[in-house]
Amino acid sequence: MRSKFESYIGFAAKSGNLIAGTAACASKIEKRKAKLLLIAEDTAERTLEKLRNIAEKANVPVRIYGDAYDLSKMIGKPGRNVFVITDEKFAKIIVEQIDAKKEEVLG
């Protein structure tokens, strides 16, 4: 059974509101089109810091969650570890799902 997070990521991808790949995501953030930057936990530190800095300058929220294999599998684009959500509603829902999961773990 798919989690709500997986469903929302899938819906965002199918509706064209999810961008994958480092360069494409950086471009969307710089153009102020990004509403959320989602980075896989196993992303290289250099890439993580670069994108975090770009997102911070543009006031785009950042979440680090899951691994690249699982996230890219959810959207049907293998080998991707950086994602941008361009829709405000999807971004809000996905942030809520990630934050709720982290609260569950922290207990």
Closest residue by Cα to residue 60 from 90, 82, 103, 28? 28
The structure tokens listed for 38 are 């989602």
- For the stretch 91-104, pLDDT in tens is 999 999 999 987 77
| Assessment of whether the complete model's pTM goes beyond 0.85 | yes
Closest residue by Cα to residue 36 from 81, 87, 79? 87
Judge contact between 29 and 55, C-beta under 8 A. yes
- For the stretch 63-81, pLDDT in tens is 999 999 999 998 888 899 9
Q: What are the sequence ranges of the domains in the chain?
A: 4-106
pLDDT class for 105, splitting at 50, 70, 90? low
What integer pLDDT is reported at residue 107 of this predicted model? 61
Judge contact between 82 and 24, C-beta under 8 A. no
Q: Which CATH class is domain 4-106?
A: alpha beta
